[in-house]
Structure 1
Amino acid sequence: MNKEHLWQAWCDGCAHPNPGHIGLGALLLEPDGSRHELSQRSPHSGCNNEAEARALLATLQLARTLQASALLIHCDSDVVVRLAQNASSTEAARLAPLFAEIRAQIKCFDQFELRWIPQHRNTEADHLSRSALGLPTRSPAKPRKRK
């Protein structure tokens, strides 16, 4: 990817309770370092996977509005990363129209990459999604001991 024009984004969604109200969060960084934040309550309700997918869609829409052409998005949902890139998947069939919309939005970018990251590297987007529902910041995960 051309780093000179590369926008980076981190997105996260939460459902409270699960299933329940959906909060969307995203942080977008322009190539010059300018920050754009998204923290909004979705008009939809659903499960955590739907919340994560809707957060990705909202991130794509915001990036297009801001006229990004090269975009790298980080997401801590393995399910969303897999399904956003696999049109033939039958996993989460109920959400197939949402993932079709995500794939259509992805095609609008000259360069695009979606990467999975661990949850502890997505704290700002997590905070933004939880804030949209009036939820407190999540406590940091305790490191796991290796066996």
Structure 2
Amino acid sequence: MIEVYTDGAASGDPGLSGAGIFIKDGKKTYDYKFPLGSMSNHQAEFEAVIKGLQVCRESFQDEILSFRSDSKLVVDVIEKDFTKNQTFLPYLQEIRQQIEAFPHFFIKWIPEKQNKQADQLARQAIRLN
């Protein structure tokens, strides 16, 4: 099972943003940071999950994925597979499509203090814009 920690950050809301992905595969770890341009913090959080799924499609095909995020909003939308917010709907649709490539996908909320690596990567990604 692959553990994927995701975080999105924005400097301003909206503002320059970034996504950080920290992946654990047994004893190996992988760091990814993606500058995202200008968007809201919530949008950056969704983008971080999408970027994490894209990385997993390239490097961890056919693996069971366990995603972790400190965004209750993102976790709730994905778990319930529903949002009334039209801004978030395209993100949910993209995530639905991406997870079809994997045998199992799980996502759970974690406190910020358990997501420090992904948070640092997201903040570094902002500076890459």
TM-score (norm. length: structure 1): 0.81
Q: Unaligned stretches of 5+ in structure 1? A: 1-5, 136-147
| Over 6 Å off, 4+ runs | none
Residue 85 of structure 1, CA deviation: 2.7
- 1:103 and 2:89 matched: no
- 1:25 and 2:20 matched: yes
Q: Unaligned stretches of 5+ in structure 2? A: none
Correspondent of 2:125 among 118, 127, 132: 132
- 1:60 and 2:53 matched: yes
Q: Which residue of 2 aligns with 1:71?
A: 65
Correspondent of 1:34 among 28, 31, 54: 28
Which fold has the larger relative contact order, with Cα–Cα distance below 8 Å and residues 6 or more apart in sequence?
2
Larger radius of gyration: 1
Q: Over aligned residues, Cα RMSD in angstroms?
A: 1.5
Q: Which residue of 1 aligns with 2:75?
A: 81
Residue 45 of structure 1, CA deviation: 2.0
Separation in 2, partners of 1:88, 1:121? 26
Separation in 2, partners of 1:112, 1:87? 13
- Where is the helix percentage greater, Structure 1 or Structure 2? 2
1:90-136 superposed Cα distances (whole Å, 9 cap, x missing partner): 1x22121111101111121101110100111100000000011139x
> What is the aligned length?
127
Q: Secondary structure at the match of 1:73?
A: strand
Q: Secondary structure at the match of 1:11?
A: strand
Separation in 1, partners of 2:106, 2:100? 11
TM-score (norm. length: structure 2): 0.91
Separation in 1, partners of 2:118, 2:87? 25
